[in-house]
Amino acid sequence: MPLTPVDDPEVKSSEREYVWTLNFGPQHPATHTTLRLVLTLDGERVLDAVPHIGYLHSGFEKLGETLDFNQYVTIVDRMNYISPLANEIAWHHAVEKLLNIELTPRCKYLRTILAELMRLHDHLLNVGTTALDLGGFTAFLYAFQQREKIYDIVETASGQRFHTSYTRVGGVLFDVNNAWVDKVRAFVRGVPKTHDEVHRLLTKNRIFIERTRGIGYLSHDDAINFSATGPVARASGIERDLRKDEPYLAYADLDFDVVCAKSGDCYGRYLVRMQEILESLKIIEQAIENIPAGPVNIDVVSDMVLPAKPAVYRSIEGLIQHFEVIMPNRGYDVPREQVYAATESPNGELGFYIVGNAETRAYRVRTRPPSYIHFGMFPHMIRGHQLGDVAAVLGSINIIAAELDR
Amino acid sequence: MVDALELAARIGSPLTESTFRDNRRMDVAATHILPLLTTLKNDFGFNMLIDLTAVDYLEYEGARDRFGVVYLLLNVDSGERLILRTAVNLPEATLPTATGLWRGADWMEREVFDMFGIRFAGHPDLRRILMPDEFTEFPLRKDYPVKGRGERHNFPVITRAGS
Amino acid sequence: MAVGLPENVFLTRLDAAANWARSNSLWPMPFATACCGIELMATAASRYDLARFGAEVMRFSPRQCDLLIVAGRVVMKMLPVLQRIWLQMPEPKWCISMGACACSGGVFDSYAVVQGVDRFIPVDMYVPGCPPRPEQLLAAIIDMQEKIRATGTVMGREFMARTSPMGPSPFDADELLRIKDASFVQLGGLSSPMGSVPRAGGSNHG
């Protein structure tokens, strides 16, 4: 007969004799990166968890006060490094709202495609590593096979495979060519097969289901109270997706569904991510076939974008323009105002609160990091579960330490 | 859309409303922030606290207060957003906690405390969260240098022969 | 020949035999903190397949490893953990500093980030890049193997000679000025976040 522990609220958990404490992290394979938990355990049952974070706090927001709007893109890149371009798009989305820039149609479609590629990037890794932490290595290898193709695609567009630093105020670094479009088309055709393989490996896998179903439950009301967004909130039945609710870029033109689940557990979050992979493919398919021609950057006359390199090298106007944009406190007008703008990043609502001070750099830049906010509810989700479920819950809320600590 | 005049009457304090792009903001005195948040949450359906952050206005031209604290609210059902701003000053720099309304406010307030030194009265566990416990400064204040004051390199050096 | 050797018997130096074995069975300890950790995963995953070089046995316990790969930026809260992990690894051990942040702080010249782990632990191999491509990491591991074969000794005598720190001094000149300005921050007054770092006793050879 199993011993049932006395759940007397009067007795502090630390005073119970049979309770023991386990340090989990900051260097532990299932934490993926650097976070630390102090778990209070009764046998294998988790009574409480106290997260300790900051093991990767690098002063992102302070650096944002010293770098200008185009330079800071290299820093936001390194925030959620599973989907770097999604951060760049979110950052420049906020900057462009501050500066009141309307992008060209081509740029909107291009950024939409890239944002959805990053969603695939993120979800594939998350599904793969969640399975890896629960003992299934194969799905991880399948997922990484497709991720390498996404690396190739962004490398073709930007020249860098990982931290692309590709977006700029009012546009992107370079336009893409037809070879790139063909690459994306080929990639989109290949993903369903991988998706199907992962699906067959995991979705009805009895071990995987038993390790995830009913684990890390988050109710609808708790999800709202804890400020959950993104796949975590949608798996708890909150029908909210900024791509639909506050359409930005080209999402208003495209047909896709918002994926929700009601179960609110790790399995529900896994299913939401798997289905979102298919929805993202749908978006990319439509966008890549309808990508408009025309310039990718806004008009150079606006004094906000860098002119094309041939113009800089061959004409005095181009050179002056380049100089005006690059030199601090010249070029464009930044209002002395504050703005918040958010995008639906793979992890949830990724927003930036920017305080402008008539300089081409921000006076203060605040990131609303979904990982940080999701990790705050981890103790609530893990209480009462087994020690082995810690890895399952951590995987399902997709904590990225660099975004967590910034 | 919540009406600013109605809100001001409810909490008994004037509100300054402003709009920039699609952001709707209200400025409120620090003494009335908690009643305002409570009213907005309970009566106007702003059930999600999207973010809570602060701005140090030390070097901002024309600013009267040292810190601005910003609350970003969202009504999940209607999708309406609202930004509340308030101001606090040193030496006390204290605000009432919002953890009683939103449990998600817990870590956000801890981060603001860690980075700016603004205290939240009534917070259940107001400790440093990102910086080490021994750290004495508040790094996002404008009078703290971006490269720090040597704390980052204050560790013993291990040589190869000695390890 | 004066001494007749049976078939399949080779004569070699003990050092060379040890180096051959050590270099071809490196067990990495992935100290993956940030972006470089993802590229480290990619190096071990399908396309790049680290297993081809005998170094795929990633072990997350430092006591089972002999190659520390510091992948990603190390911040002041993490550095004592890194030092403790380095001290916990058994001899012989080597360290690869992977990526710009681990080598020099990279783009993060801020109050929290250690400007290169070589200020505080000994590093054998630097891999530039932000993050380095998997090919670069593979090249570094191959170079590491060559270095072990070229310089290794069975008793680890080459480590004993490295008595002084190889990296830059912990504090830069401008940093010392800032410390001087802020008189309340006392050198050595701050204890490290994880408590004191244990110094290795005489139990480790080398």
Predicted complex ipTM: 0.92
Which of B128, B129, B131, B157 has the most C C-beta neighbours within 10 Å, making it the best mutation to test the interface with C? Answer: B157
The CATH superfamily label for domain B4-153 reads NADH:ubiquinone oxidoreductase Nqo5 subunit (3.30.460.80)
Find the mean pLDDT for residues C165-170: 81
Residue C1 scores a pLDDT above 80: no
Residue-level pLDDT at C187: 43
Which H or E element spans position A22?
A: strand A19-24
HEC profile of chain B = CCCHHHHHHHHCCCCEEEEECCEEEEECCHHHHHHHHHHHHHHHCCCEEEEEEEEECCCCCCCCCCEEEEEEEECCCCCCEEEEEEEECCCCCEEECCCCCCCCHHHHHHHHHHHHCCEEECCCCCCCCCCCCCCCCCCCCCCCCCCCCCHHHCCCCCCCCCC
Copy the structure tokens of residue A125.
Answer: 């890794």
Inspect the interface and report whether the beta carbons of C41 and A144 lie closer than 8 Å.
yes
Mean pLDDT, chain B, rounded, equals 88
Q: What is the pLDDT of residue B55?
A: 92
Pairing outcome for strands A45-52 and A167-168: unpaired
Q: How far does B163 lie from chain A, in Å, by closest CA?
A: 20
Q: Is A59 on the interface with B (CB under 8 A)?
A: yes
C-alpha span between C93 and C113 (Å, rounded): 25
| Chain C residues in contact with B114 (beta carbon < 8 A) | none
pLDDT of residue A30: 60
For residue C17, CA distances in Å to A380, C91, C141 come to 55, 17, 19
Q: What is the pLDDT of residue C183?
A: 57
Could you give the 3-state DSSP secondary structure of residue A248?
Answer: coil
Tell me which amino acid residue B128 is. R
pLDDT band of residue C205 (cuts 50, 70, 90) is very low
Contact A95, A69 (CB under 8 A): yes
pLDDT value for C191: 41
Most confident of A126-135, A166-175, B144-153, C117-126: C117-126
The reply to whether B155 touches chain C by the CB within 8 Å rule is yes
C-alpha distances (whole Å) from A279 to each of A86, A87, A195, A387, C92 are 17, 20, 12, 34, 51
Amino acid present at A286: Q
Contacts of C160 in chain B (CB under 8 A): 161
Residue A303: pLDDT above 80? no
Residue B53 has pLDDT above 80, yes or no: yes
Range in A39-48, A113-122, A220-229 the model is least confident about: A39-48
Contact C30, C60 (CB under 8 A): yes
Q: What angle do CA B82, A92, A341 make, to 5 degrees?
A: 5
User: What pLDDT is stored for residue C186 in this prediction?
Assistant: 45
pLDDT at C202: 34
Residue reference for tokens 């003494």? B31
In the predicted structure, residue B42 carries a pLDDT above the cut 80: yes
Instruction: State residue C47's pLDDT score.
Output: 81
Min mean pLDDT across A110-114, C39-43, C51-55, C182-186 is at: C182-186
Burial code (b: 16+ CB inside 10 Å, e: under 16) for A33-56 equals bbbbbebbbbeeebbbbebbbbbb
Nearest CA in chain A to C101: A58
What is the average pLDDT across C115-139? 90
Q: What is the predicted pLDDT for the residue at B14?
A: 83
In a domain, A33, yes or no: no
Average pLDDT, chain C: 80
- At A16, is the pLDDT very low, low, confident or very high (cuts 50, 70, 90)? low
pLDDT tens readout for residues A259-271: 999 888 899 999 9
Residue A69 has a pLDDT of 86
For residue C57, pLDDT over 50 is answered with yes
Residue B63, both tokens: 């600013």
Q: Are C54 and C26 in contact (CB under 8 A)?
A: yes
Q: What is the pLDDT of residue A320?
A: 83
* pLDDT mean over B148-156: 84
- Tell me the mean pLDDT in the region A107-119: 92
Q: Name the residue in chain C with its Cα closest to that of B155.
A: C192
Helices B33-44/B4-11 angle, 10° precision: 120
pLDDT of res. B12: 83
Looking at the domain assignment, is residue A6 inside a domain?
A: no
Nearest CA in chain A to C111: A59
| Greater model confidence, B59 or C199 | B59
Mean pLDDT along residues C12-36: 87
Tell me, which fold does domain C14-181 have in CATH?
Answer: Rossmann fold (3.40.50)
Does the pLDDT of residue C51 top 80, yes or no?
A: yes
For residues A192-220, give the mean pLDDT: 89
B142/B55 Cα distance (integer angstroms): 9
Would you place residue C194 in the very low, low, confident or very high pLDDT band (cuts 50, 70, 90)?
A: very low
CB-CB under 8 Å, C185 with B136: yes
Candidates C112, C121, C182; nearest CB to B152 = C112
* Smallest Cα distance from B116 to chain C, Å: 15
Rounded mean pLDDT, B133-149: 87
C190 alpha-carbon distance from chain centroid: 26
Let me know: does C83 contact B158? Beta carbons within 8 Å: yes
Of A54, A368, A372, the CB nearest to B131: A54
Domain residue limits, chain C: 14-181
Give me the pLDDT at residue A295, please.
Answer: 85
| pLDDT higher than 90, residue B70 | yes
A349-390: pLDDT as tens digits: 999 999 988 888 889 999 999 989 999 888 888 888 888 888
Domain count, chain A: 1
Supply the range of the domain harboring residue A226: 60-405
The percent helix, strand, coil of chain A (3-state, each to 5) is 50, 15, 40
| pLDDT for C196 | 39
- Binned at pLDDT 50, 70 and 90, residue A8 comes out as low
Minimal Cβ distance to C86: which of B136, B154, B163: B163
Q: Name the band, by pLDDT with cuts 50, 70 and 90, for residue A32.
A: low
Q: Please state, as a whole number, how many other Cβ atoms lie within 10 Å of the Cβ of residue C160.
A: 13
Residue A54 lies in a domain: no
Report d(CA A214, CA A268) in Å as an integer. Answer: 9
Percent of chain A exceeding pLDDT 70 equals 93
**pLDDT category, A31, cuts 50, 70, 90?**
low
Q: How far apart are the first and last CA of chain C?
A: 38
Given B139, B151, B158, which is nearest C86 (Cβ)?
Answer: B158
In this prediction, residues B89-100 reach a mean pLDDT of 88
Residue A264 sits in a domain whose CATH number is 1.10.645.10
In a domain, A18, yes or no: no
CB contact set of A372 (below 8 Å; sequence gap of 6+): A53, A403, A404, A405, A406, B107, B111
**Which pLDDT score is estimated for C192?**
40
Count, in order, helices (H) and strands (E) of chain A.
Answer: 17, 8
Across the range A311-331, mean pLDDT stands at 79
Mean pLDDT across A337-355: 91
Is B66 a residue whose pLDDT tops 80?
yes
Name C78's bridge partners: none
